[in-house]
Amino acid sequence: MDSNKKFLRGTLNTIVLALLKDNGRMYGYEICQKTKESTDNKINLTEGAIYPTLHRLEKEGLIFSTKEEVNGRTRKYYSVNQSSIKEVNSQIDLLSQFVGHLRTLLKPTI
């Protein structure tokens, strides 16, 4: 397993929630592409990772899905539940703080 996959395991929920919060409704492949583009191909989410995450977040009530017909195919879009926006913001803030602490530990300022 490459190092990115190890780090992603603990942060994938928050990454997905942040993308949905910032971009509105998105479908799974779109989330994968947006992540890839935003990180200059450094983080590549797979369908095997994204869809279980989306299903888990939906089951937890943090996001919801709607289906729409696009070019003769049904596409499932995901969005953040407005009732869970406080929890979503909290998770994003916690991860941001954690990253800040890691920066301090790994590259302390002089």
CB 3 within 8 A of CB 40: no
Enter the tokens of residue 78: 């995901």
pLDDT above 60: residue 2: no
pLDDT of residue 1: 41
**Domains in the chain: ranges and CATH:** 3-106 (1.10.10.10)
Average pLDDT value over all residues in the chain: 88
- Does pLDDT of 12 surpass 70? yes
Q: pLDDT, tens digit, for every residue of 44-56? A: 888 888 999 999 9
Query: Percent of the chain at pLDDT above 70?
Result: 89
Residue 107 host element (H or E): none
Angle (nearest 5°) at CA 4 between 106 and 46: 155
- For residues 11 and 18, the answer to whether their CB atoms sit within 8 Å is no
Is 65:56 a contact under the CB 8 Å cutoff? no
pTM of this prediction exceeds 0.85: no
Quote the crossing angle between the two packed helices 47-59 and 28-38, to the nearest 10°.
Answer: 120
